[in-house]
Amino acid sequence: MSDLDHETAVLASVKTKYPPCCLQLNASASIVLVGTYDLHKETGKRYGTIERYDLTNNPEESMKVELLEEILNTDDCGDEKMSAILDLKIIRQFESDEMISFVTCHSTGCLNFWVFDSTKDKIIHKNNIQVTEDDSVLLTSLQIKNTKQDSSILQIVCTATDGSAALVTINNGNGDENIEFMEDQHQLECWTAEFGDGGCFENCFFTGGDDATIKLFDSRAGLDSAVWSNSRIHDAGVVSLKTNAFNSKGLNGKTYYAGNENSLLSGSYDDTIQLNDLRMMGSQIYPGSIKPINKDSKNLGGGVWRLIDTEEPDELLVCCMYNGAKIVKIDYDSDEVFTEKNYIKQGHDSMCYGGDYRNKVAATCSFYDNSLQIWKK
């Protein structure tokens, strides 16, 4: 299902060894890091791997994608594979040509920290943080706060199947770690979170849950209760959120800057993407009991699982679950805010959960068909 009469051509594809649910491209789009989730029905155990692919993008040759490394466990797993990976994010402010630092969140409620060292041509496990006390709680997503390159503080918000979210703060200077849980939990699974980068949301983060609720927390006020909450925006679970970048130039690859600093994009299992203006008067936002202004919404034909920056401030890569992936243009001042620019469905015969866009290259993956595809706008 798409407004377009043709699909975008796939330039390269490969079958992953295990079902992929998340991925990231490095800045030059020469490496694809894939996190996998493999449920053993007989035992009920969930296992995961990291698959590192090399992406050859030579203009004189056809694009190629090749598996170079598979990580089955961390240092403390022994021979048993590590738990399933539900999300993977590169720490962009620490990324260089030689080193790629990244984080994975797992089905046992923990975060793992990794470094790909190009001089050794291998991925190295660096650290583990057990976020939840109960290791049967799954961490469903993680989001890293954008900071400048010289920042020694790393902040991660991660969401969980028990309806909670946790703010994890790491001081890279002295190694101190702090985990703070929000007390005002979602009634069902918490699927997604998003930091605010500027304006009145600079010290805040949003969460979205299966209870169709979006919550806003301000770290300066503590996480005992949400400062804003609304369950009237979508008709089903909220699974993706997007705030504006710090400024029109972006920071660390976050480039989305459509609309105003008080707008929030949201995506849901109800198949819609929606642009919400949270302002009531001036910079004051609507109380949570009042539905904010809906600038526009659009049915994308599948659950709007991920909203991913491209290199254009008004375009996003959208993972649409059973309806593949799309590039969507957002024009805040137009009567029709959302316009589909690219669409890929062929080859994604299962749920498209993961995607990324770097250096004019898009990578997307779908789950049960173990499909990883590379394409361009």
Task: Of 57-66, 109-118, 245-254, give the range with the top mean pLDDT.
Answer: 109-118
How far from the centroid of its chain's Cα atoms is residue 281's Cα? 31
Is the pLDDT reported for residue 232 higher than 80? yes
Confidence grade of residue 289 (pLDDT, cut at 50, 70, 90): low
Q: What is the DSSP letter of 287?
A: P
Confidence grade of residue 4 (pLDDT, cut at 50, 70, 90): confident
Residue 310, phi-psi category: left (phi > 0), alpha (psi -120 to 50), beta (remainder): beta
Specify the pLDDT at position 157: 97
Is the pLDDT reported for residue 200 higher than 80? no
Residue 330, phi-psi category: left (phi > 0), alpha (psi -120 to 50), beta (remainder): beta
Is the pLDDT reported for residue 106 higher than 80? yes
Specify the pLDDT at position 149: 60
Look at the pTM and tell me if it is higher than 0.85.
yes
Task: Look at residues 167, 114, 112, 158 and name the one whose alpha carbon lies nearest to residue 137.
Answer: 158
Is the pLDDT reported for residue 292 higher than 80? no
Cβ–Cβ contacts within 10 Å for residue 376, how many? 17
What structural domains does the chain harbor? 10-375 (2.130.10.10)
Specify the pLDDT at position 161: 98
- Here the tokens at position 207 are 């969460």
Is the pLDDT reported for residue 3 higher than 80? no
Q: Could you report the per-residue pLDDT of 147-194, keeping only the tens digit for each?
A: 766 578 899 999 999 999 999 999 877 778 999 999 999 999 999 999
Task: Look at residues 121, 110, 120, 92 and name the one whose alpha carbon lies nearest to residue 46.
Answer: 110
Distance CA 165, CA 193 (A): 8
Distance CA 329, CA 212 (A): 25
Strand partners, 113: 103, 127
Is the pLDDT reported for residue 105 higher than 70? yes
Specify the pLDDT at position 108: 97
Q: Could you report the per-residue pLDDT of 52-98, keeping only the tens digit for each?
A: 999 987 766 788 999 999 999 876 556 678 999 999 999 998 898 89
Specify the pLDDT at position 377: 85
For residue 104, the surrounding DSSP H or E stretch is strand 99-106
The span from the first CA to the last CA of the chain, in angstroms, equals: 18
Q: What is the DSSP letter of 62?
A: -
Confidence grade of residue 219 (pLDDT, cut at 50, 70, 90): confident
Count Cβ atoms within 10 A of the Cβ of residue 276 and give its class: 0-12 exposed, 13-18 middle, 19 or more buried. buried
Of 29-38, 314-323, 332-341, least confident by mean pLDDT is: 332-341
Confidence grade of residue 281 (pLDDT, cut at 50, 70, 90): very low
Distances (CA, A) of 260 to 111, 114, 334: 33, 35, 14
Is the pLDDT reported for residue 286 higher than 70? no
